[in-house]
Structure 1
Amino acid sequence: MNLFKISPAKLHVADSILRLQFLSYQVEAAIVGFPDLPPCEDTVTSIMESGETFIGAYIGADLVGAISYKIEDNYIDIYRLMVHPEHFRKGIGQSLLRNVIGTYPSKHSYVFTGSENTPAINLYTSHGFHPTHEKEVTPGMFLTRLERSTSEAN
């Protein structure tokens, strides 16, 4: 597996990200019992115009995982972390997360994930993230914010 910074401004790249995102977030939607997750409603245009930095994980020519983020003040705001369902539990999400955190060791990080998404919460907590609060974004749908300070171990 190789990690590369990828440009969502390129149509074919945005299309690949969108296809991967749809497959990955369909799994999360099933886990949390909420089929209308916002990432499932993205378009190629919204990916292209997101303003996010994307890192892609490739096996050969296939995009099998990606993470996106923005740097805001002293924080890394992680927007998306996705892995193709055929490649779950192979360390791809771990590698992507480690790459971003390692690139900006002096910055704090935060992310939101579905409160019922135990695999995602376990991934983040294994990298030093701690739940800080939960919010209801629509009736019955809760997100947990997790934060990681720069003093946390990988």
Structure 2
Amino acid sequence: MKIIKAEIEDLKEILELQYLAYQSEAALFGTDDIPPLKETLEEVIEEYNNGIVLKMVFDESEKDTELSNENGKIIGSVRAYEKDGTAYIGKLMVHPDFRGQGYGTKLLNEIQKYYSNKRYELFTSTRSVDNIRLYEKNGFKKFKQEAVTDELIFVYMEK
């Protein structure tokens, strides 16, 4: 695996991965009406232009494994941008077939290398127990909750 900056040509594939990866989040609410599943390519391009988008891909090191035919396929991504001394991390995603193997942690660690900030911030739904566990394992602490609707409550975490 390698994690590198995405190119603008990668954004369509990353958006397709996003639609797949966020199905599990949608299932927590019983609806596909969540922002990551409604985001457009134009919105992803805007995020790309205003920050950093990383991609995790199979590389030559996998050529002798059962993954050899996956060379170049994007299986993970994360985005971030900086504002007022804080790096805001978002859209951390790993293909469902590759979860639970430490790739989310690798993406999270890699995006932080691009910012020399003393503070990092991200958010997730209070229902996303696996996400919260991942972030806490990587040093993030909860600092506030915000109700978007009666059903949707975001927990904000910082490091």
Question: Counterparts of 1:1-154 in structure 2 under 5 Å?
Answer: 1-7=1-7, 10=8, 12-50=9-47, 51-59=50-58, 60-148=71-159
Structure 1 unaligned spans of 5+: 149-154
Residue identity matched to 2:147: E
- Following TM superposition, by how much is the alpha carbon of 1:139 offset from its aligned partner in structure 2, in angstroms? 2.5
Aligned length: 145
Q: Report which of the two has the higher share of helix.
A: 2
Percent identity for Structure 1 against Structure 2: 29
The structure-2 alpha-carbon separation of the partners of 1:57 and 1:141, relative to structure 1 and needing over 3 Å to count, comes to: same
Larger Rg computed on CA atoms:
2
Q: Report which of the two has the higher share of strand.
A: 1
Q: Deviations over 1:85-118 (max 9, x none)?
A: 0111111110010112233344310101011101
- Following TM superposition, by how much is the alpha carbon of 1:73 offset from its aligned partner in structure 2, in angstroms? 1.9
Structure 2 unaligned spans of 5+: 59-70
Task: Report the 3-state secondary structure (helix = DSSP H, G, I; strand = E; otherwise coil) of the residue aligned with 1:109.
Answer: strand
What TM-score, normalized by structure 1, do the two folds share? 0.87
Aligned counterparts of 2:98 and 2:87: Cα–Cα separation in 1: 25
Aligned counterparts of 1:92 and 1:13: Cα–Cα separation in 2: 19
